[in-house]
């Protein structure tokens, strides 16, 4: 059975889909993709029951041949769902009529609507996670290239949006890499262990299948390639919640990187820019026929907005609310829920789409990101040495004590910032400091390239873990802590 419902493409893109539904996840979660997933479950159920000896394999084959989305009217099934509270009864009636005869009588045997929809949701999630994870991994690979290429590129590290200490852009990119790799690993683990088949019948007992119930459940899991749970999970929604949480974490990791890029791309900062792709040889035409430049404005000709980072931020921002809805829906009554299960459908689908879109946009952003090393170095020097004040304090502390050293350097920094004057010049005019540190020593202390701590080690760690995920050798032979 194909993992990608490629034959189900054809839903028209919406007005906002170009921004909020980028990438392949949109089609993997379309209405027709859901319809095919439900049909895939019905076909697999028939094969599982045939394997359990409930009816001949020929009947399962007959049912399977009818389980093709193009044989059914998605809109009509959706309209009929209003009468039964979900679309499965209408689909079962249409499928039974499609099969006809003896085979039609075996359609949906022993199952309840939630069995079909929950199992279909797990299929949809698995299919959507394939392109989503691929885009996350593509973004991580781009971050790894940036980390390696710019491991020595000096820039200002910023805390609370203020310049703090010198770092390298390679370290920043390594932080992005580590978060993206972690998010991808979580989603891969969810795909392996949490996406389980659902089969419990009306109240989770599979009574209508007699003693064959557990065997059918096991065979159904095998047919669909989904995990087989210990027991039906109709009103125990930990699996959906775990998926939602992992998607929410992925959205947070994506949003953090995208936010960094938008801040670095500000006119006054100018340290990073989204470049054009190499294959884009000519500007695309807009709806009015005029050339449309990536990042342009409808009114300001000079604008060059970081569109990919902006769009990734927008998509990621939608995720927390959807995650919260799915977590709230975990509280379900008795053996089957009255409304909470139904409340999951749209948020789960929307969450897959928005995180998939965010991942696609971030990959686009990082694969085209260009770094202005000169601007980074210029911004690093904008405070005339203030970023190294911690280092001066540490060098002075053994002579006068840490608090006295802190107060002396703080006072000097305030004078240097107010003037403004180079910090080295102010320090050189203060006897309480020059008594212990010569001007030459101060100049050495204020060199940003010599105050990077464990930057290279941390970059190597991130690159090593990333390489291990892909079966490559790491950059160094360092033994990492557990």
Q: What CATH number is given to the structural domain containing 103? A: 1.10.275.10
How many Å apart are CA 73 and CA 89, to the nearest integer?
Answer: 14
pLDDT at position 38 is: 98
DSSP-derived 3-state class of residue 227: strand
pLDDT, tens digit (0-9, with 9 covering 90-100), for 347-377: 999 999 999 999 999 999 999 999 999 999 9
Distance CA 350, CA 326 (A): 11
Q: In degrees, to the nearest 5, what angle opens at C-alpha 146 toward C-alphas 140 and 149?
A: 140
The verdict on 232 and 154 lying in the same domain is: yes
Q: Which residues, other chains included, contact 232 with Cβ-Cβ below 8 Å and sequence gap of 6+?
A: 115, 198, 199, 200, 201, 204, 206, 217
The answer to whether position 78 is within a domain reads yes
Q: What percent of the chain has pLDDT over 90?
A: 88
Domain assignment of residue 9, yes or no: no
49-67 burial by CB neighbour count: b if 16+ within 10 A, else e?
bbbbebbeeebbebbbebb
Stretch (H or E) spanning 193: helix 169-193
Of 471 and 331, more confident: 331
pLDDT, tens digit, 9 for 90 and up, residues 267-287 = 999 999 998 754 333 344 444
Is residue 1 situated within a structural domain?
Answer: no
Three-state SS at 179: helix
> Is there a domain that residue 87 lies in?
yes
CA-nearest of 450, 348, 353, 461 to 118 is: 348
- Reduced to 3 states, what is the DSSP secondary structure of residue 151? coil
Cα separation, 346 vs 350, in Å, equals 6
Looking at per-residue pLDDT, the higher value among 297 and 349 belongs to 349
Q: What is the pLDDT of residue 244?
A: 98
What pLDDT is attached to residue 155?
A: 98
CA distance 414 to 417: 5
Per-residue pLDDT tens over the stretch 427-446? 999 999 999 999 999 999 99
What pLDDT, on the 0 to 100 scale, is given for residue 5? 40
- Same domain assignment for residues 71 and 189: no
Judge if 366 and 433 occupy the same domain: no
- Is 336 among the residues known to form the active site? yes
Spatial distance between the Cα atoms of 439 and 91, rounded to a whole number of angstroms: 83
Per-residue pLDDT band for 296 (boundaries 50, 70, 90) equals: low
Question: 3-class DSSP state for residue 356?
Answer: helix
Closest Cα to residue 263, out of 154, 363, 376? 376
To the query of whether residue 297 is one of the catalytic residues in this protein, the response is yes
Q: Are residues 53 and 154 in the same domain?
A: no
Residues 61 and 125 in one domain: no
* Same-domain pairing of 268 and 127: yes
Query: How would residue 87 be classed by pLDDT, with cut points 50, 70 and 90?
Result: very high
pLDDT-based confidence at 302, cuts 50/70/90?
low
Q: Is 72 helix (H, G, I), strand (E, B) or coil?
A: coil
The label of the residue with tokens 């691929």 reads: 134
**The domain spanning residue 394 has which CATH number?**
1.10.40.30
pLDDT grade for 467, boundaries at 50, 70 and 90? very high
Q: Given this model, what pLDDT does residue 276 score?
A: 72
CB–CB of 212/53 below 8 Å? yes
Segment 180-239, tens digit of pLDDT:
999 999 999 999 999 999 999 999 999 999 999 999 999 999 999 999 999 999 999 999
Residues 190 and 318 in one domain: yes
Same domain, 78 and 197: no
Do residue 120 and residue 64 come from a single domain? no
- Quick check: is 346 in a domain? yes
Does any domain span residue 353?
yes
pLDDT, tens digit (0-9, with 9 covering 90-100), for 95-127 = 999 999 999 999 999 999 999 999 999 999 999
Q: Are residues 349 and 433 in the same domain?
A: no
The residue that leads in pLDDT, 458 or 304, is 458
pTM of the complete model beyond 0.85: yes
Q: Are residues 28 and 59 in the same domain?
A: yes
**Residue range(s) defining the domain that contains residue 250:** 114-208+225-274+300-377
Q: Is residue 400 part of a domain?
A: yes
Structural domains of the chain, count: 3
Res. 49: pLDDT tops 50: yes
Chain CA centroid to CA 219, Å: 32
Phi-psi region of 207 (alpha: psi -120 to 50; beta: other; left: phi over 0): alpha
Rg (CA), the chain: 29
439 and 321 both lie in a single domain: no
Among 77, 111, 145, residue at a domain's last position:
111
Average pLDDT over residues 303-320: 93
Mean pLDDT on 34-39: 98
pLDDT at 2: 39
pLDDT for 471: 84
Residue 472 pLDDT class (50, 70, 90 cuts): confident
Residue 460 contacts by C-beta under 8 Å, 6 or more apart in sequence? 474, 475, 476, 478
For residue 173, what is the domain's CATH number? 1.20.200.10
Q: Catalytic residue, from 336, 363, 368, 464: name it.
A: 336
311 domain residue, yes or no: yes
Final residue of a domain: which of 377, 402, 420?
Answer: 377
Among residues 297, 438, 449, 454, the one annotated as catalytic is 297
């Amino acid at each position: 059975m194909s993992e990608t419902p490629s034959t189900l493409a054809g839903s028209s893109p919406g007005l906002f889909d170009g921004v909020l539904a980028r990438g392949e996840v949109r089609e993997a979660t379309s209405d027709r993709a859901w319809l095919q997933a439900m049909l895939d479950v019905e076909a697999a159920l028939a094969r599982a029951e045939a394997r359990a000896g409930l009816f001949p394999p020929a009947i399962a084959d007959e049912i399977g041949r009818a389980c093709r989305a193009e044989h059914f009217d998605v809109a009509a099934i959706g309209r009929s769902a209003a009468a039964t509270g979900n679309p499965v009864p209408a689909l079962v009636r249409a499928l039974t009529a499609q099969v006809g005869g003896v085979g039609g009588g075996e359609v949906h045997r022993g199952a309840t609507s939630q069995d079909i929809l929950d199992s279909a949701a797990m299929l949809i999630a698995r299919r959507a996670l394939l392109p989503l994870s691929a885009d996350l991994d593509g973004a991580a690979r781009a971050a790894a290239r940036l980390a390696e290429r710019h491991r020595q590129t000096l820039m200002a590290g910023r805390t609370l949006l203020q310049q703090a200490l010198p770092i390298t852009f390679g370290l920043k990119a390594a932080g992005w890499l580590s978060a993206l790799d972690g998010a991808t690993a979580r989603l891969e683990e969810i795909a392996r262990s949490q996406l389980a088949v659902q089969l419990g019948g009306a109240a989770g007992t599979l009574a209508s299948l007699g003693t064959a119930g557990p065997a059918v459940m096991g065979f159904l899991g095998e047919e669909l390639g989904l995990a087989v749970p210990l027991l039906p999970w109709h009103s125990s929604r930990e699996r959906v919640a775990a998926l939602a949480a992992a998607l929410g974490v992925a959205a947070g990791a994506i949003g953090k990187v995208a936010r960094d890029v938008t801040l670095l791309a500000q006119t006054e900062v100018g340290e990073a820019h989204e470049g054009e792709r190499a294959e884009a040889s000519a500007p695309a035409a807009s709806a009015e026929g005029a050339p449309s430049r990536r990042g342009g404005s409808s009114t300001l000709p000079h604008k060059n907005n970081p569109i990919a980072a902006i769009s990734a931020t927008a998509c990621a921002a939608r995720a927390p609310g959807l995650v919260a809805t799915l977590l709230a829906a975990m509280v379900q009554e008795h053996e089957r829920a009255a409304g909470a299960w139904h409340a999951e459908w749209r948020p789960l689908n929307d969450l897959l789409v928005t995180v998939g879109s965010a991942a696609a946009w971030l990959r686009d952003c990082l694969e085209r990101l260009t770094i202005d090393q000169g601007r980074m170095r210029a911004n690093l020097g904008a405070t005339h040495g203030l970023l190294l004040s911690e280092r001066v304090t540490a060098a002075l502390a053994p002579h006068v004590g840490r608090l006295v050293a802190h107060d002396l350097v703080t006072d000097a920094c305030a004078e240097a910032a107010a003037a403004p004057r180079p910090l080295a010049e102010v320090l050189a005019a203060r006897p309480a400091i020059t008594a212990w540190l010569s001007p030459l020593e101060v100049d050495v202390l204020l060199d940003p390239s010599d105050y990077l701590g464990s930057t290279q080690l941390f970059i190597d760690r991130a690159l090593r873990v990333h390489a291990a995920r892909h079966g490559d050798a790491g950059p160094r032979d360092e033994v990492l802590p557990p």
